[in-house]
Amino acid sequence: MDIFYLLCAALLAYLIGSVPTAVWVGLNFYGKDVRDFGSGNAGATNTFRVLGKKAGIVVMLVDVLKGFVATELAFWLIRVVNLVQIDDLLLSKIIFYKLIFGCLAVLGHIFPIYVGFRGGKGVATLLGMMLAVDWRITLICVGIFIIVLLLSKYVSLGSLLATLAFPLLLLIPYFKPEDSVLIIFGFLMFIIVAITHQKNIQKLITGQESKAKIFKKKSQS
């Protein structure tokens, strides 16, 4: 593997993930930095809370796209490798590079270089990454998130349970992964999501977590 192409793809994945969608949408269209309101996070959930449904949907979709595009850089890397006539990559290596680039995108979302390294929690970007890695299991996880959200109204709880479901589903024989590293990755991602949701977990335990109102109209001031 040509280290130059690998480093370029890795840097690009981080820069894609670093695009501060919530901050740019808030400042350019609403005159607000979402990090100064609500939970203080530059993510889709806080955008829904601070700016409303339309802005929240745009931010969520773009953040998901960031993770998906960055993860799919693995295929771009393969094409470059083929062009310079280096040996073909094994499928396990493709998965490995997908995980590297996807994780860098999530890291970029959490610590975006463009806006002082103050970003969001990376859930939407992680979703895009998971779609690129295994869309079947990811869609099931999305279903779990929606069900938990509808029943509990807690976005944080839905995010945590949906993320945990990813590696657990991989343990089912029907969803046998092409590389066992996916299972390890899944549990590591859950740990990272749990770390970024520490305050939310504490509030869930104490009953102080805010319930989502993304299905309600934003009140007029």
Q: Are residues 57 and 97 in the same domain?
A: yes
Q: Are residues 107 and 13 in the same domain?
A: yes
Q: Are residues 91 and 5 in the same domain?
A: yes
Q: Are residues 89 and 20 in the same domain?
A: yes
Specify the pLDDT at position 6. 86
Per the structure, the count of domains in the chain is: 2
pLDDT (average), residues 71-98: 70
Q: Is the pLDDT of residue 218 over 80?
A: no
Q: Are residues 83 and 161 in the same domain?
A: no
Choose one of 83, 113, 133: the last residue of a domain: 133
Assess if residue 221 is contained within a domain: no
Assess if residue 218 is contained within a domain: no
Q: Are residues 55 and 83 in the same domain?
A: yes
Q: What is the pTM of this model?
A: 0.83
The domain containing residue 155 runs over which residues? 134-213
Assess if residue 9 is contained within a domain: yes
What is the distance between the alpha carbons of residues 77 and 49, in angstroms, rounded to a whole number? 38
Q: Are residues 160 and 78 in the same domain?
A: no
Choose one of 77, 108, 133: the last residue of a domain: 133
Indicate the burial class of 91 (C-beta count within 10 angstroms; 0-12, 13-18, 19 or more). exposed
Specify the pLDDT at position 104. 95
Q: Are residues 128 and 139 in the same domain?
A: no
Among 67, 206, 212, residue whose Cα is nearest residue 130: 67
Q: Are residues 91 and 18 in the same domain?
A: yes
Q: Are residues 116 and 8 in the same domain?
A: yes
Q: Are residues 158 and 97 in the same domain?
A: no
Write the single-letter amino acid at 60.
M
Q: Are residues 70 and 140 in the same domain?
A: no
7 vs 61 pLDDT, higher one: 61
What is the distance between the alpha carbons of residues 183 and 77, in angstroms, rounded to a whole number? 24
pLDDT in tens, 114-142: 999 999 988 899 999 999 998 999 999 99
Assess if residue 168 is contained within a domain: yes
Choose one of 133, 165, 189: the last residue of a domain: 133
